[in-house]
Structure 1
Amino acid sequence: MADAVVNKSFLFYGKVPVTPEIQRFLHPSEQLQFCVKTFRDVAVFTDKRILIADRQGITGKKIEYFSVPYRSIVTYAIETAGTLDLDAEIKLVLSGGIVLELNFFKDKENQMEELLFQVYDLITQYVLQ
């Protein structure tokens, strides 16, 4: 896992309410678990997938949406933060060899570890089903 080439990396800061902009991408059969703030937008965790909005360009008007069904996760790893580290991460290897890196940055409330393990536990729950 250490030598895996990361195809896409996202930085998570903390939980936020789901925005109407990303709500429209959720299917009625999906159950929302929680939503987190990324560097420029949000990521939604449901009972079926991870949906990440990635704003692009200077203005951020162009948005690419990544949909990662839990069933496409082949393997995953967690790296917790050390004493002096500002972030921790979860690496997801998807079918086809695509690697996504979910980075968790320390916030003012220092909730990084709680969010890290909440995401890890959710991924584990749905991957093992």
Structure 2
Amino acid sequence: MSTINPNKVFNFYQEVSIPDSIRPFISNNETVQFGVKTVRDVAVFTDKRILVVDKQGLTGKKVEYYSIPFKSIVTYAVETAGTFDLDSEIKLMLSGGISIELKFFKDKNMNALLLKVYEVINNFVVG
């Protein structure tokens, strides 16, 4: 797994089921909460981390897996969509000064998904 670049942005669209291709990357000691559709694949939220599958290249055969442990989150913020905005965001600051943006694109379920992701993060960080 390569190093996460600062200011990495992941785009989320809707809740989806967990593909079987992701199961080998889920540890036996973590529980899957739900999955979210990304641009070309999926992000999985467990009780311990966010696992984002990022297909790369024209064919999408090259895949990078980002693992974001909840324990590495130092601070986080939520930015909701305004009248003319197309997305809402959860901004994560991780230990080591890495920042991650989780963008939620506007549709009828955007706020529900944003709040679901926020609740998972908040429950781990705050308890």
User: How many corresponding residue pairs?
Assistant: 123
Partner of 2:95: 95
Give 1:6 deviation, angstroms.
Answer: 5.0
Gaps of 5+ in 2: none
Aligned residue number for residue 9 of structure 1: 9
Contact 1:6 1:101 survives alignment (8 Å): no
- The one-letter code matched in structure 2 to 1:45 is F
What is the one-letter code of the residue matched to 1:95? S
Structure 1 residues 65-121: Cα deviation after superposition (integer angstroms, max 9, x where no partner)? 0001100000011000011211000010100000110000023xx100000011011
**TM-score with structure 2 setting the length:** 0.93
How much does 1:7 deviate? Answer: 2.2
Counterpart CA distance in 1 for 2:37 and 2:10 is 10
Partner of 1:69: 69
The answer on 1:113 being equivalent to 2:104 is no
Q: Give the unaligned 5+ runs of structure 1.
A: none
What amino acid is aligned across from residue 113 of structure 2 in structure 1?
L
The amino acid that maps onto 1:10 is: F
Q: Which residue of 2 aligns with 1:85?
A: 85
- Counterpart residue type for residue 119 of structure 1: V
Distance 1:6 1:78, change over 3 A: farther
Residue 48 of structure 2 aligns to which amino acid in structure 1?
K
State the identity as a percent.
59
Matched position secondary structure for 2:33: strand
SS in 2 for 1:77: strand
Distance in 2 (CA, whole Å) between partners of 1:36 and 1:15 is 4
The CA RMSD over aligned residues, in Å, is 1.3
TM-score, L = length of structure 1: 0.91
